[in-house]
Homo-oligomer: A and B are copies of this chain.
Amino acid sequence: MNKVILLNKRPVGKPTLNDFKFNNDVIPVPLAEDMLLKTLYVSVDPYLRGRMNDSKSYVPSFEIGKPIQSGIIAEVADSTHSEFKKGDFVSGILDWKEYQVSNGKGLNKLDVNVSALSSYLGILGMTGITAYLGLTEIGAPKKGETIVVSGAAGAVGSVVGQIGKIMGCSVVGITGTDDKAELLKSKFKFDNAINYKTTPDLNLAIRNACPKGVDIYFDNVGGEISDAVLANINKYARLPVCGSISLYNDTEVSVGPRIQPIILTKSAMMRGFLVGDFSSKFPVAIKQLANWLKEGKLTYAETIINGFENIPQAFLDLFEGKNEGKMIVKI
């Protein structure tokens, strides 16, 4: 049997398990220059929420009744492909299926000697690359500057903070539990961490944590947290917008203080990005991340959930902030 997960219906607001549907297919047989892939690790990511809508988002919408897709690590279980042999490990954007056939297009072969397989979904995968390129290409940190990261204990945020430290900056993380705030300081070496859920005045807390003001705000969440950070930016601040997870499940357009007057008076620069905007720089990013990892300058956290049947719940848990670092489902 070959379990697959389809989009059952488009979520309204917060997604539920009913938005997903499990099916049993047969295990396909690879044709010439094809291979059979056995799914090992599945990445669940906040941006997938956008693809569940019937609207233009970063990337095309999922279709109802068709498989969901995300970043997946798979083992080549059978192959007639000249470049991939049985036993190889690959990563790519693949279907949520236990088994699937691929012609190899868009797949990367993975070296298990460099790092653990699952890390190719996180620190050495799209999330690590997103952190590195968003921070360096848009944030352009200079030694001694102050960086604030929201969603700081998430897959991207935890890497952004560490890179900021490597680059000689002061780094403050905003997160949603005391445990995560502690983790940011102990494991990821953030200078300071704020639990926005228990802080009565977030604006003030940021001001206290950033006595020299905020030069770079790496925004993963949007909403009121971002309002509070923006109130504390310095002249010439850079504001990479990587995600808006706090708003993804809104059914109406969220309103808040207009930010153009701050952007104007601070000569600040806000730029949204998709990691694909910088695709020509992926090789540089991966090499740098792998080096830092090898040198022990970078570490990472994973929240690993077991079982194919738990993929939808793991995705839902992202919006409750139940993950520390990269949320991955191990099959």
Could you list which residues of chain A lie within 8 angstroms of chain B, going by C-beta atoms? 50, 56-58, 219, 222-223, 226, 236, 241-244, 247, 253-274, 277
Contact = CB atoms under 8 A, between A and B. Distances in A.
Contact of A270 (B58, B261, B270): B270
Given A256-B258, A258-B253, A274 B267 contact: yes
- How many copies altogether? 2
Contact of A226 (B223, B253, B260): B260
A266 B268 CA distance: 18
A264 B272 contact: yes
Nearest to A243: B264
Nearest to A223: B258
A244 B267 contact: no
Contacts of A236: 277
B263 A257 contact: no
Given A219-B260, A241-B263, 8 more contacts: A56-B265, A57-B265, A247-B258, A247-B261, A254-B261, A255-B256, A267-B273, A267-B277
Contacts of A253: 257-258
Report which residue of A236, A269, A272 has the largest number of chain B beta carbons within 10 angstroms of its beta carbon.
A272
Contacts of A226: 260
Contacts of A58: 264-265
A286 B272 CA distance: 33
A259 B264 CA distance: 15
B257 A254 contact: yes
Contact of A272 (B247, B257, B266, B273): B266
Nearest to A274: B267
Contacts of A57: 265
Given A263-B241, A264-B244, A255 B254 contact: no
A131 B118 CA distance: 51
A65 B78 CA distance: 85
A260 B244 contact: yes
A269 B134 CA distance: 13
Contacts of A260: 219, 222, 226, 241, 244, 247, 270, 272
